Structure 1
């Protein structure tokens, strides 16, 4: 799959935001855990590219928090992360 430079940059930003800002497990200060959230980047990217209001991205982050990781819900924090991701998406839009 050929991806635009902007999409490649957006993937990188999603990875960084999930690791350094979202970080529900509190591992952002551990270099050994730098890849902890990598597997969530592709789905977050797909949802982010398709969303209009970000609610589906927020729902995905909520699901990851509660079902995948079992750390509990933090809807307010998830909403802040989605807002940041959408700003990156808009900044890097083709």
Structure 2
């Protein structure tokens, strides 16, 4: 996927993976190097939301839906909110720098 994206989108895609692993981390594997790819299957949908201009609230709700409906875990709203905020801040920063 990354070879079809411009450099800015490649960087955002990488950041999404980092944020999901180190900040969102609903199953607590951030300290396990072998689990670095644990959340990779969610990166694409979050990246798409970011690129479409989704709000913190929309992204957080999407992350919560993944935790509850796909992982079958209790929600962790504060972690989803934090991850969403970091992601939208990064997206907005990239837009500023590119302008």
Q: How much has 1:52 moved relative to structure 2? A: 4.3
Name the residue aligned to 1:10: 12
Q: How much has 1:34 moved relative to structure 2? A: 0.8
Q: Decide which of 48, 51, 65 is 2:50's aligned counterpart.
A: 48
Within 5 Å, which residues of 2 pair with 1:1-94?
Answer: 2-93=4-95, 94=98
List gaps (5 residues or longer) in structure 2. Answer: none
Q: What TM-score, normalized to structure 2?
A: 0.86
Greater mean deviation of Cα atoms: 1-10 or 23-32: 1-10
Q: Which structure has more RCO (C-alpha within 8 Å, separation ≥ 6)?
A: 1
Residue by residue, what CA displacement relative to the aligned partner does 1:16-64 show, whole Å, maximum 9, x if unpaired?
A: 0000111000001111111000010010000111134222211110111
List gaps (5 residues or longer) in structure 1. Answer: none
Equivalent residues, number: 94
Off by >3 Å, runs of 4+ in structure 1: none
Please give the root-mean-square deviation of Cα atoms over the aligned residues, in Å.
Answer: 1.4
Counterparts in 2 of 1:33 and 1:52: CA distance versus 1, 3 Å: closer
